[in-house]
Structure 1
Amino acid sequence: MEAIAFESRHISTRIARPAADVYAYASNPANLPEWAEGLGDTIEEIDGQWVAESSPMGRVVVVFAPRNEFGVLDHDVTLPSGEVVHNPMRVIADDTGGCEVLFTLRRQPDMSDERFQRDADMVAGDLAALKRVMERA
């Protein structure tokens, strides 16, 4: 069976902080409400899982890739339906002592152009919030 390729959009922002600092902050799920509005305004660890009760999608569970030295912040979001959405994300050091944070948004099956754009705008807003938080610290 041939795999179906869905559209991806790469959304990024540059942050004037060392990649290690940004990675350490962004990889801690407890910090998500400060910068990832798309996952809601609260998150708590329940039975070893990070749960956002008030996300725009309803109750979701967020699982990050294990901590690593490569800046990989991939995370899976389990929706109320049980569907799991994989979100590739990276923190990449640059030559200025800062970094770039890159999120790959993948269009889900049956997603309208309007909804895909809305999700892209939400991710861009979340990355802008991450930049504000990290650069004021």
Structure 2
Amino acid sequence: MNDTGETSRHLSTCIDRTANDVYAYASNPVNLPAWAHGLGGNIERAGDHWVAESSPMGRVVVTFAPRNELGVLDHDVTLPTGETVYNPVRVIADGAGSEVVFTLRRRPEMSDAEFERDAGMVAADLARLKELMESG
């Protein structure tokens, strides 16, 4: 925990597409390389989870929440070290559009600079998702 006690940060973007459209696209792991660059350029199914061999962190295993009607896109990322990081993500209806909220959890060993770097990467991923959804 840092000096301010901050252990989570909520990052979000509003998208001019319905929550159903955004959820349908974002919940399909095949689409991840197009907008979630933190997972690398490819991801492949391996049983009940997905594997990204070329992520910036090395080989990571991603396990997603089951498809649901609530807009829950939660996923666990197991790092090469064996540590599993839980990532809560929601697609929320906002009038005719939607808001995607990613809760970035600060891991205990993270420095302030590492936490800020991760926040910047998540914000960039959300911006790419917005651009893809609004241009398509």
Shorter-chain TM-score category? over 0.9
Contact 1:6–1:108 (CA<8 Å) still a contact in 2?
A: no
The percentage of aligned residue pairs carrying the same residue is 70
2:73 aligns with 73
Task: Tell me, yes or no, if structure 1 residue 25 matches structure 2 residue 25.
Answer: yes
Q: Deviations over 1:4-52 (max 9, x none)?
A: x861000000000000010010001110000000111111112442100
Residue 49 of structure 2 contacts residue 64 of structure 2 at CA under 8 Å; is this kept in 1?
A: no
Aligned to 2:49: 49
- Alpha-carbon displacement from aligned partner over 1:79-108 (angstroms, at most 9, x marks no partner): 11111100000000012x100000000110
Do 1:15 and 1:99's aligned partners in 2 also have CA atoms closer than 8 Å? yes
Q: Is the Cα contact below 8 Å between 1:63 and 1:76 reproduced in 2? A: yes
State the Cα deviation string for residues 58-95 of structure 1 (Å, max 9, x = none): 00011110011100000000111111100000000012
Q: Distance in 2 between matches of 1:126 and 1:70?
A: 21
Give structure 1 regions of 4+ aligned residues with deviation exceeding 6 angstroms.
none
1:108 and 1:92 map into 2 onto residues whose CA distance is 26
Letter in 2 for 1:66: P
- The answer on whether the counterparts of 1:14 and 1:100 sit within 8 Å (CA) in structure 2 is yes
Which blocks of at least 5 consecutive residues in structure 1 are unaligned? none
Distance 1:52 1:112 in 2: 25
Q: Partner letter of residue 33 of structure 1?
A: P
Q: CA RMSD of the aligned region, Å?
A: 1.1
1:115 equivalent in structure 2: 114
Q: How many residue pairs get matched?
A: 132
- The residue aligned with 2:11 is 11
Query: Residue 70 of structure 1: SS of its match in structure 2?
Result: coil
Letter in 2 for 1:20: N
